Amino acid sequence: MRFGTKAIHAGQRPDPTTGAIMTPIYCTSTYVQEYPAVVKDGYDYSRGKNPTRTALQDNLAALEGGRHGLAFSSGLASIHALLSTLSPGDRVVCGNDLYGGTFRLFRRVFAPYGLSFDIVDTTDLAATERALSTPCRLLWLETPTNPMLRVTDLAAVAALGHRAGAIVACDNTFASPFLQQPLALGCDVVMHSVTKYLGGHSDVVLGALVLNDDALAERLAFLQLAIGAVPGPMDCFLVLRGTKTLHIRMERHCSNARAVAQHLVKHPRVARVFYPGLPEHPGHAVAKKQMRDFGGMLSFVLKGSVEDGMRFTSKTRVFSLAESLGGVESLIEHPPSMTHASIPAEQRRAAGLEDGLIRLSVGVEDIEDLIEDLDQAFKAT
């Protein structure tokens, strides 16, 4: 099956009792047994297994081309589960431009438990090779990154990670499996904030891991049960509804973002635009090699002061000023004071995140309305 057909059908079959075409929302905490400890298909308690969640997990695994899918109550809960497979003293190498909440989980939750984290610019192969010249248990990648849209060569860096003995994991939230499939490029684990493009409608918080290794999948399923950060059946249903249109939405996100990037690049009030689809973007060639298209996210900096940029984000009418991304509606935000405020200012600046940066999640509205909205915001700022 091809991607769009899998998006609609994978993991789902008509309900055996009624033929209902949509997967039922199995709102149940427990399952009746005929005899003590005689359990049908592993269904004994919903923290361990729930049929709506099973359908979603199988659907997400199919979309990433992996054997095992595991759903969690948020993207961060899925990262927490993966990090919980490590032991105190283990070394993790991670990229230098990560989602702010990922950094916070590493530094403030897992570092005090005895994991060590070394940060490297994974878009720089020589620096990454140096960082991986000492053994490491986990290499954590994100590409394209949030919010700078930096692009890491997954095939090249995964090979370096394996030589260092690491499990290689990639946060694929910005690309979605429609645009990029890290397992096929050599990564071992794919992580998603399903909250974003996979859900696609800004109505659910959920996370997932997809992988091929049977033993690691079994360990993660144990941690999913033992830690218990699982999504409810309603949330799983909402994502199953969302993934059915993932391929169609992503095509429009990409074409709209490309048009917005091209408009901003030419705009006299704009100093810099960060979008991997622009030929001058430093990650353009790698993105072209490993992604189907360049995605719906972009960042830019206005000429003038930081305050001008912040004022601009309050003047748009179609773009809503809000955190998060990947929904059908366009969003605008100011990462230094919003999504990335949890990263110390010096570290933000060292990673190239300017104080005036504005991030857009370009939705699937009519492109003329998006361009007109940005233009009226320039006039009003």
Ligand X SMILES: *Cc1c(COP(=O)(O)O)cnc(C)c1O
Contacts with ligand X, residue ranges (CB under 6 A): 74-76, 99, 101-102, 142, 146, 171, 173-174, 193, 195-196, 205, 207
Minimum distance from residue 45 beta carbon to ligand X (Å): 24
CA torsion 68→74→79→81, rounded to 10°?
-70
Q: Which is the catalytic residue, given 99, 137, 197, 244?
A: 99
Closer of 205 and 287 to ligand X (Cβ) = 205
Q: Is 196 marked active-site?
A: yes
SS3 state of residue 144: coil
Minimum distance from residue 195 beta carbon to ligand X (Å): 4
Q: Which is the catalytic residue, given 31, 47, 219, 373?
A: 47
In the numeric block, the tokens 């493009």 are attached to 197
Closer of 122 and 381 to ligand X (Cβ) = 122
For residue 361, the surrounding DSSP H or E stretch is strand 357-361
DSSP string for residues in 76-129: HHHHHHHHTTS-TT-EEEEESS--HHHHHIIIIIIGGGT-EEEEE-TT-HHHHH
Q: Are strands 189-193 and 331-333 parallel, antiparallel or unpaired?
A: unpaired
SS3 state of residue 21: coil
Q: Which own/partner pairs from 105-112 qualify as long-range (CB within 8 Å, at least 24 positions apart)?
A: 105/76, 105/79, 105/80, 106/140, 109/80, 110/83
- Comparing every residue's Cβ against ligand X, the nearest one is 75
DSSP string for residues in 168-212: EEEE-TTTHHHH--TTTTT-SEEEEETTTTTT-SS----EEEEE-
Minimum distance from residue 135 beta carbon to ligand X (Å): 26
Q: Is 47 marked active-site?
A: yes
Q: Is 213 marked active-site?
A: no
Q: Which is the catalytic residue, given 53, 196, 252, 258?
A: 196
Minimum distance from residue 255 beta carbon to ligand X (Å): 21
Minimum distance from residue 350 beta carbon to ligand X (Å): 19
Closer of 164 and 327 to ligand X (Cβ) = 327
Closer of 101 and 309 to ligand X (Cβ) = 101
Closer of 120 and 377 to ligand X (Cβ) = 120
Q: Is 31 marked active-site?
A: no
Task: List active site positions.
Answer: 47, 99, 171, 196
